[in-house]
Structure 1
Amino acid sequence: MFYKPVVQEHERLAAQELVQHLGSGSGSALLGNECRHALNTLAVSENPELQQSASVYLLHLSQHLPTALPAEFLEPYPALLRSSDLVVQRTTSLSLVNLLVDHNVNKELIVEMGILEPILDLLESGDLTVQCNSCACVAMLATSDANREAIVAADGVLHILVLAVSSDPRIQRNAVGALLNLTRSEKVAGALCEEGALPVLTLLLQSTDLEVQFYSCSTLRNMAALQEHHLRMLGIGEHFLLKSLLSLLSSPVEKNFCQTCLCLKNLSVNVQTQEELMALGCISLLIAVLHSPAVGKSESAITLLSALSQHPPNRDGMVEQGLVQAVDKLLLLHSSSSTIVSHGAITITNLSSTPTGQQAVMDSQCLTRLLKALDLTSTTEDARLCVVSCLHHLTCLVSLKPHIAEQMTAEHISHLVTYASQAENLELSFHAASVIGELGMTVAPLLSPHSDAVLGYLLRFLKNQEVRFQQLGIATLSTLKNDGCFAAAVSGNAVQEQLCMVRTQTERTSELLSMVSPTSPSSEQAPSAQSLD
């Protein structure tokens, strides 16, 4: 015969108390002191049926509680989670999952009250339901900064890694989700590297479960955000991580593709990684996705391509693979996306630094797209800055300046003058004015209707203490003085007085420089402002 624990009188009364209140259905009555004492009594009982009563009561609370669970009602959890009865473990862990999902319990308080340890112990349970529930609890507890370190300190990472390769998809998802939440802390992300999480996560990229793919890729993205982990991440096998990530670029699931691009972007701050990605055919894979009807995929692809184009040795290869033409089409299809406009302009700027890139820009409609983007009110100010900066870069190129001047219209000039005239965004103002200054007399007739606005921002530039603004103002005035519309204004008192002030400042700077380096040749001294009379 098996031993059956005797039900003591105070336990019997406690059970009756819970049953009575469950029948009442009153929320306030369910959280009364009598119920709390009854729960504490039954939680430590040796009788599994009484423990089951307590766990069922807590499950009922977790499903019907309209407000946060009072901290006192967490007291029974450690004992119930440590119960030897499988039903009690399942029911109690499920009630805790419900409370965490509905935000009806303080996550940090759970750890403070000693509930984390028994949850971690249940990760090693032989029961799949218990493993699934306890792993879900860990995943949600790991959304708290304080709890992440507690989980690592309690050796929870190894248990989670074991479950990350579970054959049960529910457990696997919860485990990888827990790893993702843990890596939201830089310190804990380092601990995961030490614990051997990288090979596991890399293998999970090849999972047939799309959610596991997403969580593992997101976790690796967080770890790749810290360059100190790159050597270890890229040292797995023969480019195994990069090859696994590149295989996800063909994923039909948008969020998985986007996370892959983010992870690769984080890794590509390393020049060697960029070279390896180029060798593995990354560019052709990304170009193929650029024209996807899913805007999110196009945005992620061009963001990664613009990052790869920052590395000069990559540029000719990217041009040869048709990236300029692809960006041309992309700007046509998705001209209202600030991300696409921004990174498309950055990519064109980078690729046009080579002769082959400049020729590709001339052979495409990129200049037309960029000029049209000046008028896009749907894009952000940052996107407009990228476009105007790109145009500034292109107008400085001898091969492209005539093409820009040829396509410039009165409407384009109007937008540039508007941007140059606003004082809130100095970078946008500077680059817009630089485009006008570079084009000079070729656009002077188009500037005539805006003479007051042009002189206004040029005077503001002369008053700016940054030398680049002063120099741009002087250079532009020097050009415009040859135009009849501007000649009188340039020789007027307001402009000349400000030029005298700049000259005085420059001469004073030259004097100070001569005091510091009296033997330096005069040719190395700061040049004084020239009169525009």
Structure 2
Amino acid sequence: MGMLVPLLDLIRSGDSSAQSHSCACVCLLAPQRSNREAVMLEGVKPLLALAKSYDPREQQVASWALLHLTHSDWSRRLLGDAGGFPVLVLLLQGSDSEVQFYSCSALCNISSARELHRKLLSIGSHFLLKSLLTLASSSVQKKSMQACRCLQTLSQNDLIQEQLMELDCVLPLQPLLKTSSAEWRESAVTLLSALTSHTPNKAVLVSEGLLEEVGQLLLHPTCSSVIITHSCRIITDLSSCSEGQQAVMEARCLSGLLGALLSPSLTDDTLIHLTSCLQNLMTQHPLQSELSVMITSEHVSRLVKLSGRSQNPQLSYNSAAVISRLEMTGETLQLLKPHYVAMLEYLSVLLQNKDLKFQQLGLVTISNLKTDGDFSSLLSGGEVEDQLRTVHDQTEETRRLLQTIQPPSPVHPLQPPHKH
């Protein structure tokens, strides 16, 4: 009906009320596939011009409208071609909170397309990353959280990770981990876990005290599943570098992890991350010894119960693997002894699993526990012992078959006779 042209004319007018309503109309028209091309081709430039206005109200309207035009790949590319990215980055530096939030949200949508990262980074001397880090330190929660989300999305790019580390990005993020708001802490720890996945960052993050912050975070009385999951990723990543193991012990991370293990409200997905982290730490000698000493009867009860979760094989495996890696001292065996019957039940399930990884875990656990006469007595003549014979017979049969199909020795080509 020709409504688009007068609406765009109103956007160019000086009447802020008319501009606001016409921008809203354009945004409502844009999602319709039949309107999309006309709205984007004809509407982007007037909106960008309005965004450059010195009037905060006009900037609010324009940035809100531009945000609504960043929800599709096609519109994001067209906005970039029209020079919209530098405008949105400049709006991050504005004085109006709403303008900063809308432009940050728009850039968050844009950064989800990795092919646009290069264009975003071309906006002069880390300007985008510096602006986002400044916003992350904002006392306005929704701006800070949105900036963290945008940085997290951008950090999938290795070059951006390097630039963030050059900008000392941990410094403005650490205070967010100490705030009283769980949502704020979640945003910061999610971004930091993305940074720890990049190998060159690990030693620096350890030296900057990130593990100390994570240890405190896990000990917080309102520690959410999101925080536990990303804390586990950080601890797993940073413990893999030489400086990380000692820092994990000194930072009370182990106490935090074991405390989280006893939480009754965790989902299975969170428990998988938690038990996977503990299992990984138990493969490292100093941490294995430390954890073996710190484990209490409550922890053992929880791990045995989780090991019996046959409906969730990965959680069962992780939990049983933690138990299998405990140092079998007299104290540890005393903690395990009341659970031998329940342990035989999950060991039976492990041995019947077709996956050799599960069978091997069952065998290792039984081998570790056979030093205790009480366990050997329960094992003798029971179902698990029958399954051990079955596994042994299958292994022998496999070995015999492998012997019959051994590859022939390599045939060396005949060497020409030596000339005298």
Is the 1:141–1:147 contact (alpha carbons within 8 Å) kept by the matching residues of 2? no
Question: Hey, what's the Cα distance between the residues in 2 that align with 1:175 and 1:516?
Answer: 73
Q: Does 1:190 align with 2:115?
A: no
Of the three residues 380, 390, 407, the one matched with 1:518 is: 407
Unaligned runs of 5+ residues in structure 1 are: 1-77, 79-113, 522-533
Deviation at residue 385 of structure 1 after TM alignment: 2.1
Q: 1:244 to 1:518 in 2, by over 3 A?
A: same
TM-score of the superposed pair, with normalisation by structure 2: 0.90
Q: Which residue in the other structure is 1:421 paired with?
A: 308
Kindly name which structure, 1 or 2, has the bigger radius of gyration based on alpha carbons: 1
Of the three residues 459, 464, 471, the one matched with 2:353 is: 464
Question: Hey, what's the Cα distance between the residues in 2 that align with 1:352 and 1:469?
Answer: 25
Secondary structure class of the residue paired with 2:179: coil
Question: Hey, what's the Cα distance between the residues in 2 that align with 1:490 and 1:174?
Answer: 74
Q: Does 1:485 align with 2:374?
A: yes
Deviation at residue 289 of structure 1 after TM alignment: 2.0
Deviation at residue 465 of structure 1 after TM alignment: 2.0
Of the three residues 60, 74, 87, the one matched with 1:200 is: 87
Q: Which residue in the other structure is 2:297 paired with?
A: 410
Q: Does 1:337 align with 2:224?
A: yes
Of the three residues 481, 495, 498, the one matched with 2:387 is: 498
Deviation at residue 467 of structure 1 after TM alignment: 2.2
Is the 1:306–1:343 contact (alpha carbons within 8 Å) kept by the matching residues of 2? yes
Is the 2:104–2:146 contact (alpha carbons within 8 Å) kept by the matching residues of 1? yes
Deviation at residue 276 of structure 1 after TM alignment: 1.1
Unaligned runs of 5+ residues in structure 2 are: 411-420
Secondary structure class of the residue paired with 2:71: coil
Secondary structure class of the residue paired with 1:439: coil
Q: 1:148 to 1:514 in 2, by over 3 A?
A: farther
Question: Hey, what's the Cα distance between the residues in 1 that align with 2:3 and 2:333?
Answer: 75
Q: Which residue in the other structure is 2:13 paired with?
A: 125
Q: 1:401 to 1:121 in 2, by over 3 A?
A: same
Q: Does 1:453 align with 2:336?
A: no
Question: Hey, what's the Cα distance between the residues in 1 that align with 2:271 and 2:257?
Answer: 10
Deviation at residue 513 of structure 1 after TM alignment: 6.3
Q: Which residue in the other structure is 1:259 paired with?
A: 146
Aligned AA (1:165) = K
Aligned AA (2:74) = K
Deviation at residue 287 of structure 1 after TM alignment: 1.2
Deviation at residue 206 of structure 1 after TM alignment: 0.5
Deviation at residue 150 of structure 1 after TM alignment: 3.9
Q: 1:380 to 1:146 in 2, by over 3 A?
A: farther
Query: Relative to structure 2, which stretch is displaced further, 421-430 or 488-497?
Result: 488-497
Question: Hey, what's the Cα distance between the residues in 1 that align with 2:210 and 2:322?
Answer: 25
Q: Which residue in the other structure is 1:391 paired with?
A: 278
Deviation at residue 288 of structure 1 after TM alignment: 2.2
Of the three residues 337, 347, 361, the one matched with 2:248 is: 361
Identical columns (%)? 46
Q: Could you give the per-residue CA deviations for residues 164-202 of structure 1, whole angstroms, max 9, x where no partner exists?
A: 222332332222122222222233222222222111111
Is the 1:139–1:175 contact (alpha carbons within 8 Å) kept by the matching residues of 2? no
Q: Which residue in the other structure is 1:308 paired with?
A: 195
Aligned AA (1:172) = Q
Q: 1:141 to 1:430 in 2, by over 3 A?
A: farther
Question: Hey, what's the Cα distance between the residues in 1 that align with 2:228 and 2:385?
Answer: 40
Is the 1:392–1:431 contact (alpha carbons within 8 Å) kept by the matching residues of 2? yes
Deviation at residue 246 of structure 1 after TM alignment: 1.2
Question: Hey, what's the Cα distance between the residues in 1 that align with 2:276 and 2:142?
Answer: 31
Q: 1:212 to 1:504 in 2, by over 3 A?
A: farther
Q: Does 1:318 align with 2:318?
A: no
Q: 1:154 to 1:284 in 2, by over 3 A?
A: closer
Q: 1:148 to 1:338 in 2, by over 3 A?
A: farther
Aligned AA (2:135) = L
Q: Does 1:134 align with 2:134?
A: no
Q: Could you give the per-residue CA deviations for residues 101-130 of structure 1, whole angstroms, max 9, x where no partner exists?
A: xxxxxxxxxxxxx54454334323343332
Q: Could you give the per-residue CA deviations for residues 323-342 of structure 1, whole angstroms, max 9, x where no partner exists?
A: 11111112222543111122
Question: Hey, what's the Cα distance between the residues in 2 that align with 1:432 and 1:409?
Answer: 15
TM-score of the superposed pair, with normalisation by structure 1: 0.72
- Larger RCO (CA under 8 A, 6+ residues apart): 2
Q: Which residue in the other structure is 2:179 paired with?
A: 292
Q: Which runs of 4+ in 1 moved over 6 A?
A: 511-517
Across the aligned residues of Structure 1 and Structure 2, the Cα RMSD in angstroms comes to: 2.3
Of the three residues 287, 290, 301, the one matched with 1:400 is: 287
Pairing of 1:64-79 with structure 2 (within 5 A): 78=1
How many residues are paired up?
408
Query: Relative to structure 2, which stretch is displaced further, 401-410 or 486-495?
Result: 486-495
